[in-house]
Amino acid sequence: MTLALDANHDLFLGSRAGVATVSGGPAVAQRLLTRLKLFRGEWFLDVNAGTPWFQKILSDTADIRDIEIELKRQILDTPGVVSILSFFVDFNRSTRSLAISFEVDTPFGPSGVLEVSL
Protein backbone atom coordinates (compact mmCIF):
# COMPACT_ATOMS: atom_id res chain seq x y z
CA MET A 1 0.00 0.00 0.00
CA THR A 2 1.35 3.41 -1.01
CA LEU A 3 -0.07 6.50 0.67
CA ALA A 4 -1.16 9.19 -1.80
CA LEU A 5 0.56 12.57 -1.91
CA ASP A 6 -0.90 15.79 -3.29
CA ALA A 7 0.72 18.23 -5.74
CA ASN A 8 2.72 19.79 -2.88
CA HIS A 9 3.99 16.34 -1.92
CA ASP A 10 1.99 16.40 1.32
CA LEU A 11 -0.13 13.50 2.55
CA PHE A 12 -3.44 13.47 0.66
CA LEU A 13 -6.53 12.88 2.76
CA GLY A 14 -9.42 11.14 1.06
CA SER A 15 -12.97 12.41 0.81
CA ARG A 16 -13.98 10.67 4.03
CA ALA A 17 -11.19 12.29 6.09
CA GLY A 18 -9.19 9.11 5.73
CA VAL A 19 -5.83 8.58 4.14
CA ALA A 20 -5.93 7.94 0.39
CA THR A 21 -3.76 5.36 -1.34
CA VAL A 22 -2.31 5.12 -4.83
CA SER A 23 -1.35 2.09 -6.90
CA GLY A 24 -0.10 1.08 -10.35
CA GLY A 25 1.60 3.65 -12.56
CA PRO A 26 0.77 6.62 -10.33
CA ALA A 27 2.45 4.84 -7.40
CA VAL A 28 5.62 4.34 -9.45
CA ALA A 29 5.62 8.03 -10.46
CA GLN A 30 5.12 9.07 -6.85
CA ARG A 31 8.00 6.81 -5.72
CA LEU A 32 10.25 8.41 -8.33
CA LEU A 33 9.44 11.96 -7.28
CA THR A 34 9.79 11.11 -3.61
CA ARG A 35 13.18 9.49 -4.20
CA LEU A 36 14.45 12.43 -6.25
CA LYS A 37 13.15 15.09 -3.86
CA LEU A 38 14.66 13.40 -0.79
CA PHE A 39 18.17 14.68 -0.13
CA ARG A 40 20.64 11.98 0.94
CA GLY A 41 21.11 12.23 4.71
CA GLU A 42 17.79 14.04 5.24
CA TRP A 43 15.85 11.10 6.69
CA PHE A 44 17.21 10.26 10.14
CA LEU A 45 16.06 6.61 9.98
CA ASP A 46 18.15 5.92 6.87
CA VAL A 47 20.82 8.52 6.11
CA ASN A 48 21.75 6.63 2.91
CA ALA A 49 18.27 7.02 1.41
CA GLY A 50 17.62 9.72 -1.15
CA THR A 51 19.51 11.41 -3.94
CA PRO A 52 23.07 12.69 -3.30
CA TRP A 53 22.27 16.25 -4.40
CA PHE A 54 24.98 17.99 -2.36
CA GLN A 55 27.40 15.06 -2.24
CA LYS A 56 27.61 14.42 -6.01
CA ILE A 57 25.21 16.39 -8.18
CA LEU A 58 25.42 20.04 -7.07
CA SER A 59 29.05 19.89 -5.97
CA ASP A 60 31.69 22.28 -7.33
CA THR A 61 33.37 19.44 -9.19
CA ALA A 62 30.22 18.01 -10.77
CA ASP A 63 30.42 17.23 -14.45
CA ILE A 64 27.20 17.18 -16.52
CA ARG A 65 27.90 13.62 -17.64
CA ASP A 66 28.35 12.43 -14.04
CA ILE A 67 25.17 14.27 -13.05
CA GLU A 68 23.19 12.50 -15.78
CA ILE A 69 24.64 9.11 -14.85
CA GLU A 70 23.75 9.55 -11.16
CA LEU A 71 20.22 10.81 -11.87
CA LYS A 72 19.53 7.98 -14.30
CA ARG A 73 20.84 5.49 -11.72
CA GLN A 74 18.46 6.92 -9.13
CA ILE A 75 15.56 6.65 -11.58
CA LEU A 76 16.37 3.11 -12.75
CA ASP A 77 16.87 1.87 -9.17
CA THR A 78 13.33 2.91 -8.25
CA PRO A 79 10.98 -0.09 -7.86
CA GLY A 80 8.55 -0.34 -10.76
CA VAL A 81 10.75 1.41 -13.34
CA VAL A 82 11.43 -0.77 -16.39
CA SER A 83 13.35 1.75 -18.52
CA ILE A 84 13.87 5.44 -19.20
CA LEU A 85 11.95 6.57 -22.29
CA SER A 86 13.17 10.19 -22.32
CA PHE A 87 15.53 12.24 -20.17
CA PHE A 88 16.51 15.92 -20.23
CA VAL A 89 18.63 17.83 -17.72
CA ASP A 90 19.21 21.59 -17.54
CA PHE A 91 22.09 22.43 -15.18
CA ASN A 92 23.15 26.02 -14.43
CA ARG A 93 26.46 25.94 -12.58
CA SER A 94 26.51 29.67 -11.74
CA THR A 95 23.17 29.51 -9.90
CA ARG A 96 23.64 25.88 -8.84
CA SER A 97 20.16 25.11 -10.13
CA LEU A 98 19.04 22.02 -11.92
CA ALA A 99 15.85 20.92 -13.64
CA ILE A 100 15.19 17.46 -14.98
CA SER A 101 12.29 16.13 -16.98
CA PHE A 102 11.92 12.49 -17.89
CA GLU A 103 9.50 9.73 -18.74
CA VAL A 104 9.83 6.11 -17.71
CA ASP A 105 8.24 2.87 -18.73
CA THR A 106 6.56 0.85 -15.98
CA PRO A 107 4.73 -2.48 -15.95
CA PHE A 108 1.58 -0.33 -16.11
CA GLY A 109 2.66 1.71 -19.17
CA PRO A 110 4.51 5.01 -19.65
CA SER A 111 4.59 7.37 -16.68
CA GLY A 112 4.03 10.58 -18.56
CA VAL A 113 6.59 13.37 -18.24
CA LEU A 114 7.79 13.93 -14.67
CA GLU A 115 9.75 17.01 -13.56
CA VAL A 116 11.98 17.92 -10.62
CA SER A 117 13.66 21.30 -10.10
CA LEU A 118 16.13 22.49 -7.49
Give residue-wise pLDDT tens across range 79-91. 999 999 999 999 8
Query: CA 35, 115, 17 angle in degrees (round to 5)?
Result: 65
Total domains in the fold of the chain: 1
- Please indicate, yes or no, if residue 4 is contained in any of the structural domains: no
Closest CA to 90 of 80, 100, 82: 100
- State the DSSP H helix or E strand holding residue 72, giving kind and residue range, or none if neither: helix 64-76
- State the DSSP H helix or E strand holding residue 32, giving kind and residue range, or none if neither: helix 24-37
Here the CATH number for the domain that contains residue 45 is 3.10.450.40
- Please indicate, yes or no, if residue 8 is contained in any of the structural domains: no
Q: How many CA atoms lie within 13 A of 88 on its CB side?
A: 6
- Please indicate, yes or no, if residue 51 is contained in any of the structural domains: yes
Task: Report the distance separating Cα 34 and Cα 16, nearest Å.
Answer: 25
Residue ranges making up the domain that contains 79: 24-117
Give residue-wise pLDDT tens across range 59-80. 878 788 999 999 999 999 999 9
- Please indicate, yes or no, if residue 80 is contained in any of the structural domains: yes
